[in-house]
């Protein structure tokens, strides 16, 4: 089992485009043994401290294996929706880990 934490920074005004991509991509993860453990959209007042820009969303995700993740990322139907992600996401930070 692998775990991913993703901080997602969305371009201002492109939130609906980002949601459109997520509405497709999140259910597709199940096909590849992936799942969203937590999907958070923190508000400014929830930060105790921050030295950088706050992300629009934070995802905690798991996949059964690196192979499952790779298959999800290369999925042909997912690729057809990547223009939505590219249009809406300014940047993201992906952290891989394991349960301890």
What mean pLDDT do residues 73-83 have?
Answer: 94
What mean pLDDT do residues 15-43 have?
Answer: 96
User: Which pLDDT does position 7 carry in this prediction?
Assistant: 97
| 97 CB-near residues (< 8 Å, 6+ apart) | 2, 3, 4, 5
User: Which pLDDT does position 23 carry in this prediction?
Assistant: 95
Residue 46 has pLDDT above 90, yes or no: no
> For 72-94, b where at least 16 C-beta lie within 10 A, e where not — what string?
beebeebeebeebbeebbeeeee
User: Which pLDDT does position 48 carry in this prediction?
Assistant: 86
Domains, the chain? 2-97 (3.30.70.100)
Q: What angle do CA 26, 55, 63 make, to 5 degrees?
A: 35
Q: How far apart are CA 97 and CA 100, in angstroms?
A: 9
Is residue 57 very low, low, confident or very high in pLDDT (cuts 50, 70, 90)? Answer: very high
What mean pLDDT do residues 45-74 have?
Answer: 93
Is residue 88 very low, low, confident or very high in pLDDT (cuts 50, 70, 90)? Answer: very high
> pTM for the complete prediction?
0.89
Average pLDDT, the chain: 94
């Amino acid at each position: 089992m692998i775990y991913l934490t993703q901080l997602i920074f969305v371009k201002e005004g492109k939130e609906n485009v980002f949601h459109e991509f997520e509405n497709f991509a999140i259910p597709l993860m199940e096909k590849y043994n992936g799942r969203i453990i937590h999907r958070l959209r923190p508000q400014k007042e929830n930060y105790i401290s921050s030295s950088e820009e706050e992300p629009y969303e934070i995802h905690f995700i798991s996949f059964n294996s690196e192979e499952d993740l790779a298959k999800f990322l290369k999925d042909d139907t997912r690729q057809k929706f990547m223009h939505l992600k590219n249009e809406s996401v300014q940047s993201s930070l992906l952290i891989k880990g394991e349960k301890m």
